[in-house]
Amino acid sequence: MKKILILLFLYVNVFAAGQVGDKAMNFQLPNLYHLDKKMSFNDYKGKVVLLNVWASWCGGCKEEMPLFVKLQNEFKGSSFSILLSNIDTNSQNAVSFLKGVDSHRTLHAVYDGDKILPRAYRCIGMPSSYLIDKNGRIVDVFVGSINENTLFKLKAKIKALLRK
Amino acid sequence: MYKLILIPILFFLTACSDRLVRVMPYEKEYLAQDKMKLSPVDARAEQEGHIFLIREASAGGESAFQGGCGCR
């Protein structure tokens, strides 16, 4: 009976989605703007990161993008970064969309055409955002589009994490 | 012993079948395309709705608060 319970526990954990308290996954993916250049999550060590899984075919993802640009500009010069992970089949769709929203390339972006990150985190909705602290632990998970109301709470959390 | 092997296999198989059947949100790229809509031309949707109502010879039944009985 004990063994069955252990196996059940393992099973539940193996197939669970990315949750608060989990260690963020380390990855190496191409830069969305320069596909020949690789970006690693290790580059963000010691930083507070908002990892956003998005696609240009997802309406909610496009909706929240201007808010992210605004948020990143507010935290300019701090150790907070927004990292976009695009999962489009054609990366050019994402680049042309970002051209209109983030012409100064304020947001860092990687291209995840093989959908490695959403598979690893088992995203239950699009877009999904993961707030990761300086130690690389997931502090908060946002499923769905971030609106002004959520942004207010998110800002408070980022400020608290930056103070730590 | 037999049960100990069977249970994980059953769990694994059910997880597999779940993954095969369910389309995850990040896999809906093609489903999100305009051509996948039931009515691909937005401007024509209203007209199609009107024709549907005439054909069915009843009014309502399209929203949550109308029964589709024709009595509104």
pLDDT value, residue A162: 94
Query: Is residue A41 situated within a structural domain?
Result: yes
pLDDT of amino acid A103: 92
Model confidence at A16: pLDDT above 70: no
Q: How does strand A138-143 pair with strand A128-132?
A: antiparallel
Q: How far is A129 from chain B (nearest CA, A)?
A: 13
CB A117 within 8 A of CB A25: yes
Q: How far is CA A9 from CA A19, A83, B10, in A?
A: 16, 32, 15
Residue A129 lies in a domain: yes
Closest-approach residue (CA) in chain B for A116? B26
Closest CA in chain B for residue A7: B8
Q: Is residue A37 part of a domain?
A: yes
A122 to each of A115, A128, A130, B19, how far by Cα in Å? 10, 10, 12, 11
Is residue A38 within 8 Å of residue A31, measured between CB atoms? yes
* Residue A92 scores a pLDDT above 80: yes
Q: Which residues of A fall below an 8 Å CB-CB distance to B?
A: 3-4, 7-8, 11, 15, 53, 55, 57-58, 87-89, 115, 118-119, 122-126
Question: What pLDDT is recorded for position B72?
Answer: 46
Query: Confidence band (pLDDT; 50, 70, 90) for A4?
Result: low
The pLDDT > 70 percentage for chain A reads 89
Question: Count of domains in chain A?
Answer: 1
Q: Is the pLDDT of residue A62 over 90?
A: yes
B3 confidence band (pLDDT: 50, 70, 90): confident
pLDDT band at residue A56, thresholds of 50, 70 and 90? Answer: very high
Q: What is the span of the domain harbouring residue A142?
A: 18-163
A13 domain residue, yes or no: no
Peptide bond into A127 cis (omega under 30): yes
Query: What is each CA distance from B45 to A34, B56, B58, in whole angstroms?
Result: 41, 16, 18
Please list every residue in chain B whose beta carbon sits closer than 8 Å to the beta carbon of residue A6.
none
Domain annotation covers residue A112 = yes
Interval A119-130: pLDDT, tens: 999 898 999 999
Could you say which DSSP state residue B22 is in? P
DSSP state of A137: B
Q: How far is CA A9 from the centre of its chain?
A: 27
Average confidence (pLDDT) over A26-43:
94
| Helix (H/G/I), strand (E/B), else coil: B45 | helix
pLDDT band at residue A102 using 50, 70 and 90 as cut-offs: very high
Query: What is the distance between the alpha carbons of residues B1 and B49, in angstroms, rounded to a whole number?
Result: 61
Give the CATH number, domain containing residue A111: 3.40.30.10
Element holding A142 (H helix, E strand): strand A138-143
Distances (CA, A) of B56 to B12, B38, B51, B66, B68: 48, 18, 9, 15, 10
- Each residue's pLDDT tens digit, B14-72: 666 555 667 889 999 998 888 887 776 777 877 887 887 777 766 555 555 555 555 54
Q: Does any domain span residue A74?
A: yes
Domain assignment of residue A105, yes or no: yes
User: Do the Cβ atoms of B68 and B60 come closer than 8 Å?
Assistant: yes
**DSSP states of A15-81 as a string?**
TPPP-TTPBPPP-EEEBSS-TTSEEEGGGGTTSEEEEEEE-TT-HHHHHHHHHHHHHHHHTTTSSEE
Angle formed at CA A126 by CA A121 and CA B36, multiple of 5 degrees: 130
For the segment A14-39, the average pLDDT, to the nearest whole number, is 85
Give A115's contacts in chain B (Cβ within 8 Å). 26-27
For a pLDDT cut of 90, what percent of chain A falls above it? Answer: 80
Chain B positions contacting chain A at CB under 8 Å are: 3-4, 7-8, 11, 15, 24-29, 32-33
Residue A4 lies in a domain: no
